[in-house]
A = this chain, B = another copy of it.
Amino acid sequence: MRIGLDMMGGDFAPTEAVKGVKLYLDTVASDVHLVLIGDEQQLTPLLADAQLDQSKYSVVHSSQVIGMNEHPTKALKEKPQASISIGFHLLKNEKVDAFISAGNTGAMMVGTYYSIKGIEGVQRPTISTLVPREDGSYGVLLDVGINADCKPENLAQFAILGSLYSQNILNVPNPKVGLLNIGEEEGKGNLLAQATYPLLKENKQINFVGNIEGRDIFSNKADVIVCEGFTGNIILKMAESIHEITHRRGINDEYISKFDSETYGGTPVLGVSKPVIIGHGISQALAFKNMILLAQQMLQSKLLEKITASFSTKEA
């Protein structure tokens, strides 16, 4: 298994990316080979200092970086030597099996769309977030931002993608799927939610448990919570701000600390045929480590093959 990591992406690159690589290699036993993409001059001393097992990684030099505020399509076109461009090139040409970056999110999305095939039958790829729960388990909320406007069929597909993610990565046997809504009963909600409810109810591939309200997001009522990307993104960023507020106020709570984006690392783009993981710009060592681990789990569990099978069954 070869996992490509953009060492130049994010606010604390490459220092925190190197620390994350070290944390991963020190704590996770695996046969993963890491392909570290970045500026050799910057990386060499940092990697030497980190005293890593040299058989576990190789470096691919990249002479350019796409800035966090650059226009994605333009940047990818004009900077073929950027770490993100090289990452997608390697992924496309099967030199790596997965690609991770905490860099420009737009460039990551555009790169994914242009370089990686979609999975047959999936109308729209989606991104998700893990939702920490008090018992230590995690729910999945999706979409969290790339699909601001959705049709009912899109949400129905997110439900399948989220269920497979929950099953294969979070090891939840028969994940309960909830539709995010503003009332408990069928028939409540906006037009989208009203039209989505029957689609989820009919779908035999998922374990639909009904509507989930805002107060239930952090509960165990559902393992997979489905919504369009507008509401999902607001929830995600609001939860992160709650973490920041409590941190600033000196509140030290094991559970609330999990609202930190570091914990969940990054989101996979679900619905495309290869593992692409997009990290938060503020990713530090733990987030990088968790993203590498997630890529490893996605490959080991054969999640994408299972998604492909699930959607081809549906088409048949």
- B180, B230, B249, B253: the one contacting A190 at CB < 8 Å is B230
Q: Are B193 and A230 in contact (CB under 8 A)?
A: yes
Between A234, A236, A239, the greatest number of chain B beta carbons within 10 A of the residue's beta carbon is seen for A234
Q: Which residue of B lies closest to A240 (CB)?
A: B215
Instruction: Report if A246 contacts B (CB, 8 A).
Output: yes
Is B235 a contact of A234 with CB atoms below 8 Å? yes
Q: Is A245 an interface residue (CB 8 A)?
A: yes
- Of the candidates B193, B238, B240, the one whose C-beta lies within 8 Å of that of A235 is B238
CB proximity of A76 to chain B, nearest CB, Å? 19
Residues A183-217 near B (CB distance < 8 A) = 189-191, 193, 213-217
Please give, as numbers and ranges, the residues of chain B lying within 8 Å of A191 by CB-CB distance: 148-149
* Nearest CB in chain B to that of A243: its residue: B215
Shortest beta-carbon distance, A2 to chain B, in Å? 34
Inter-chain contact B242/A216, CB cutoff 8 Å:
no
User: Which residues of B have CB within 8 Å of A242?
Assistant: 218, 242
* Chain B residues within an 8 Å CB radius of A215: 237-238, 240-241, 244
What total of chain A residues lie within 8 Å of the partner, measured CB to CB? 39
List 6 A-B pairs, minimum CB-CB distance, nearest first: A214-B237, A148-B190, A214-B234, A215-B241, A214-B238, A182-B233
Instruction: Given the known inter-chain contacts A189-B148, A214-B234, A214-B235, please indicate yes or no for A249 contacting B245, CB distance below 8 A.
Output: no
Which residues on B sit within 8 Å (CB–CB) of A216? 241
From residue A138, how far is it (CB to closest CB) to chain B in Å? 15
Q: In chain A, residues 242-300, which have Cβ atoms closer than 8 Å to a Cβ of chain B?
A: 242, 244-246, 249, 251, 253, 255-256
Q: Is A228 an interface residue (CB 8 A)?
A: yes
CA separation between A213 and B246, bound complex, in Å? 18
Which residue of B is nearest A214, CB measured? B237
Set B213, B230, B251: member contacting A182, Cβ < 8 A: B230
Contacting residues, chain B, for A256 (C-beta < 8 A): 245-246, 249, 251
B145 near A234: Cβ-Cβ < 8 Å: no
- A235–B241 Cα distance when bound, in Å, is 13
A229 an interface residue at 8 Å Cβ cutoff? yes
Given A148-B189, A251-B253, 10 more A-B residue pairs with CB atoms under 8 Å apart are: A148-B193, A182-B234, A189-B230, A214-B234, A214-B236, A215-B240, A215-B241, A238-B239, A245-B255, A249-B255
| Docked pose: A14 CA to B296 CA in angstroms | 59
Nearest B residue (CB) for A190: B148
Distance of A123 from chain B, by nearest CB (Å): 17
The 28 sampled A-B contact pairs (Cβ below 8 Å) are A134-B245, A134-B249, A148-B182, A148-B189, A148-B191, A149-B190, A180-B234, A182-B230, A182-B233, A193-B230, A213-B237, A214-B233, A214-B236, A214-B241, A215-B240, A215-B244, A216-B241, A217-B234, A217-B238, A217-B241, A218-B241, A218-B245, A219-B241, A231-B234, A242-B242, A245-B255, A249-B253, A251-B253
